[in-house]
Amino acid sequence: MYDALLKKIDKKEAKVGILGMGYVGLPLAEVFCGAGFPTLGFDIDPEKVRKLNAGKSYIQHIPTPRIKQMRESGRFKASNDPKTLRDCDALIICVPTPLSKSRDPDMTYVIRTAETIAGQLRKNHLVVLESTTYPGTTREVLVPILEKTGLKAGKDFFVAFSPEREDPGRKDYTTSTIPKVVGGLDPKSSKLATTLYARAVKAVVPVSSCDIAEAAKIVENVYRCVNIAMVNELKMVFDRMGIDVWEVIEAAKTKPFGFQAFYPGPGLGGHCIPIDPFYLTWKARHFGMPTRFIELAGEINTSMPHYVVEHVIKALNTRKKAINGAKILVLGLAYKPNIDDIRESPSIELIELLKQAGAKVDYNDPHVPTTHKQREHDLRMKSVPLTPRKLAEYDCVVISTNHDAYDYQMIVDNAKLVVDTRNACAKVKGPKKNVFKA
């Protein structure tokens, strides 16, 4: 059976089912479909399934013409019927792994997806988990659920872990060109998964186990989390000293070795960096190991929206205006520039904190015309127009996300006050007495 599956994968005859058609699963489906594999996009959301089968997209950086091309190829179909999974040869799990309110891993989506697969599991299935999680998840959570069927991993079916490395909106690297780390539960699982990805992406990096692959992804995100926390703390320190941290970083990065530039902001966003380090701290406690360094970095990053609010209050005070009752416009709802992804965006918390302080808050984001309900938030807001006349109506404008679409010269020229959390106004010409950095 193993040889037959390997041959099927090698010839791109294996049907690939991807569970979760979000910011990770949909780009991956496009890659496998484009590589020539028959591809199934599975999602429990019937609206997503309807749009995909109609050749329409709901993610900005994957435009509708690309979905239409996938459908016209005859190799892609979307479904929310679990029975369609049984016809697949490889099943790839791309579902969220959020945190609970107590910052413990919430494995609900992985568990439910594993149970869905178990209901359709057959001999010779390859199951790959891509959702970022703590080391040990594949062995300790996924495999036991699948083995409740009576089938044995590594013998009757095969299991691997290959962490997603998506960075929405990035131009220099895509899903197909980012090296793919792959670790199997056993040598046969590893060979199957490695072969599968090697037929679809540019480079595959095999590792000795699924645990190593899980840990590698956590290390990548902890690295960014800690370094961003460092510059966020330096921003606060240098602010007290009257030193511009942005100019400091520009000077430091001229060193050709031993330094990599990270930049401060109003907090961390996206599904990985604000969340994944806490998966490791949770797992480390099971081994009696405190992770003080990582937890401190997390505390610093999660405190940044509060720091921004403090600077908004200070900026308003210079105009003898209280935050209670002030009209404030937040620019940018997405967690990073030029995308429509608002997962874990610090702008969400920033808006909520400003409202709690009594401010009347609007937002503008050319990529996010309306908000949608999230697991922890439901702003129920619409993006307001950004015009010189509209800007003049607000007591303060907060730049939270530095989209390229914004005309920062126009913003500074027409706003009464600007609190800039991204150094977006650095190139604005003329006096900037109304601009406060935060």
Question: What is the model's pLDDT at position 266?
Answer: 96
Distance CA 435, CA 418 (A): 5
- Do both 261 and 305 map to the same domain? yes
User: Could you say which of 185, 209, 233 is where a domain stops?
Assistant: 209
User: Could you say which of 190, 209, 228 is where a domain stops?
Assistant: 209
Q: What percent of the chain has pLDDT over 90?
A: 89
Is the residue at 91 inside a domain? yes
* Residue 255 pLDDT exceeds 80: yes
Token digits of residue 270 = 């996206």
Is the residue at 51 inside a domain? yes
- Do both 344 and 200 map to the same domain? no
Full residue range of the structural domain in which residue 71 is found: 2-209
From 96-105, 217-226, 398-407, the region with the lowest mean pLDDT: 96-105
Name the β-bridge partners of 126: 90, 158
- Please say whether the beta carbons of 391 and 418 come within 8 A: no
Residues forming the active site: 272
- Do both 130 and 84 map to the same domain? yes
- Do both 149 and 80 map to the same domain? yes
Question: What is the model's pLDDT at position 372?
Answer: 85
Is the residue at 404 inside a domain? yes
Distance CA 77, CA 42 (A): 9
Q: Summarize pLDDT for 126-180 with one digit per residue, the tens.
A: 999 999 999 999 999 999 999 999 999 999 999 999 999 988 888 899 999 999 9
Distance CA 298, CA 103 (A): 11
pLDDT average, residue stretch 254-261: 96
- Do both 73 and 173 map to the same domain? yes
Banded pLDDT at 276 (limits 50, 70, 90): confident
- Do both 83 and 203 map to the same domain? yes
- Do both 249 and 170 map to the same domain? no
Per the structure, the count of domains in the chain is: 2
Is the residue at 229 inside a domain? no
Distance CA 79, CA 60 (A): 21
* Residue 272 pLDDT exceeds 80: no
Question: What is the model's pLDDT at position 373?
Answer: 83
Q: Summarize pLDDT for 329-376 with one digit per residue, the tens.
A: 999 999 999 999 998 899 999 999 999 999 999 999 999 999 988 777
CATH number assigned to the domain comprising residue 83: 3.40.50.720
Neighbour count for residue 427 (Cβ, 10 Å): 8
Is the residue at 275 inside a domain? yes
- Do both 148 and 194 map to the same domain? yes
pLDDT average, residue stretch 195-201: 98
User: Could you say which of 186, 209, 232 is where a domain stops?
Assistant: 209
Neighbour count for residue 199 (Cβ, 10 Å): 18
> Residue 119 half-sphere exposure, CB side, CA atoms within 13 Å?
11
Distance CA 174, CA 177 (A): 5
- Do both 170 and 285 map to the same domain? no
Is the residue at 215 inside a domain? no
Is the residue at 228 inside a domain? no
Q: Summarize pLDDT for 348-359 with one digit per residue, the tens.
A: 999 999 999 999
Q: Summarize pLDDT for 95-111 with one digit per residue, the tens.
A: 999 888 777 899 999 99
pLDDT average, residue stretch 52-67: 95
Neighbour count for residue 426 (Cβ, 10 Å): 16
Is the residue at 219 inside a domain? no
The predicted model scores a pTM of 0.92
Q: Summarize pLDDT for 295-330 with one digit per residue, the tens.
A: 999 899 999 999 999 999 999 999 999 999 999 999
The four Cα atoms 323, 327, 330, 333 give a dihedral, to 10 degrees, of 110
Q: Summarize pLDDT for 385-397 with one digit per residue, the tens.
A: 999 999 999 999 9
- Do both 187 and 256 map to the same domain? no
Token digits of residue 153 = 């991993």
- Do both 298 and 180 map to the same domain? no
